[in-house]
A = this chain, B = another copy of it.
Amino acid sequence: MTKASICTIGDEILIGQIVDTNSSAISRALEAVGVRVERMLSIGDNHDEIVSNLDKELNNSEIVICTGGLGPTRDDITKQALADLSGSRKFVENLEQARIVKDILTSRGLEVLESNRNQAMVPDTCEVIPNRNGTAPFMVFRFSPNRFGHPAVLYSLPGVPHEALSAIPLIINDIKEHFTLTDIYHRNLMVYGYAESALAKKIEAWEDSLPEDMHLAYLPNTLTGVKLRLSIYGGDRKEEEERIEEKFAQLHGILGDAIYSDAEDDLQHALKKLLAGTGKTVSAAESCTGGEISHLITSVPGSSEYYLGSVTSYAIAVKESVLGVPEETIEKFGVVSSEVAASMAEGVRRLTGSTYSVSTTGLAGPGGDGVLPEGTVWIGVSGPHGTVTQMRNYHNDRLRNIQRFAASALDMLRRYIIEDKNSIIC
């Protein structure tokens, strides 16, 4: 397989001011086309360090992608280092990037300064891919096979994440043009409701039946459950895709509704797919999740079509006065109880007139309530076929508990809506 290194340049990463998210985005894109990332490296804004480290990486890998150090200020010295590494004697203006720089600054009502104009100046040893989202161009340096003993290319991208991300499809295209890559076929299935280890046990026999050339990966996430990724390297596209398809069809039989998507997805988008265009609506009554369910649902563009709103009833008085949870229910069963979860879900459904509703009441922590431990949540879902509740227990810190509660609630709502649809069809 073609090998790659990723190198991020900038003191702000080394002092921990910034978490580097570019590298993982770039490596996912490379991996998807069959390029293996062997090393990731972060170094500071130091000319000699940049030159010597990139030289080493180009010795090891056919593809090196570096980000950062391309800003207009004095501490950004990547461009000069790349000029020296590639033996450039002069900088030339890239006219297309110069035009973009002018357009961007003019549209913001800013004057084009000397330092801005310099952004479009590049070493004469590189090719330019214009950057339409920023002032620093993407630069491509191709090295003769004699230099490193193998063909090698270096891509230089700005460190600003949205600019670096916008470059990824462009450099992937360039890589596909210039390298003969091993074809790779990936497919994902999103599963909610199983811990990673429990899922592995559940599908053990199926996993053992996978042919040698298929590789299965478990990718767990607090908010989205477990992503199962099946990959085949090499072979004929149509044939390999059919083989993966067949294996995934078996998994659908084993896991049923625990599978909520066969794309890279999350529960709030799965909810949108179930509700958009149906005229059905949802609402939420949140206690311990404190707005997170509502935030997740509304993070999806177009959610206003099916999402009416929510009540976050943190105080008991709000549960009673706004949601209409009877005082006696709270006194008799406690705030964190099946009965209160049910009453909250019914209350917000009545209040908003939604088709479905979901509710949470629990203990995100730190600390339990003396009876129930921290990490306990009661979830309620209400709809045309009545109200159901479930209890869940997690063992995380406050923020992760809130996320798990919210994801579980979205999943329970999703399953209710599916059952509701099925019962109408039957």
Contact = CB atoms under 8 A, between A and B. Distances in A.
Contacts of A295: 289-292, 295, 402
A41 B44 contact: no
Contacts of A317: 308, 352-353
Copies in the complex: 2
A273 interface: no
A366 interface: yes
Interface in A8-38: 13-21, 23-29, 31, 36-38
Interface stretch (A87-95, A235-243, A248-256, A297-305): A297-305
B16 A24 contact: yes
A31 B43 contact: no
A28 B15 contact: yes
A398 B299 contact: yes
Interface string A258-301: 00000000000000000000000101101001111111011101
A311 B310 contact: yes
Contact of A322 (B37, B291, B352): B352
11 contacts: A18-B24, A38-B43, A38-B44, A39-B41, A290-B294, A291-B291, A291-B294, A291-B312, A299-B398, A299-B402, A310-B314
A181 interface: no
A210 B286 CA distance: 49
B290 A297 contact: yes
A351 to B, nearest CB: 6
Find the residue from A283, A294, A312, A353 having the highest chain B CB count within 10 A: A312
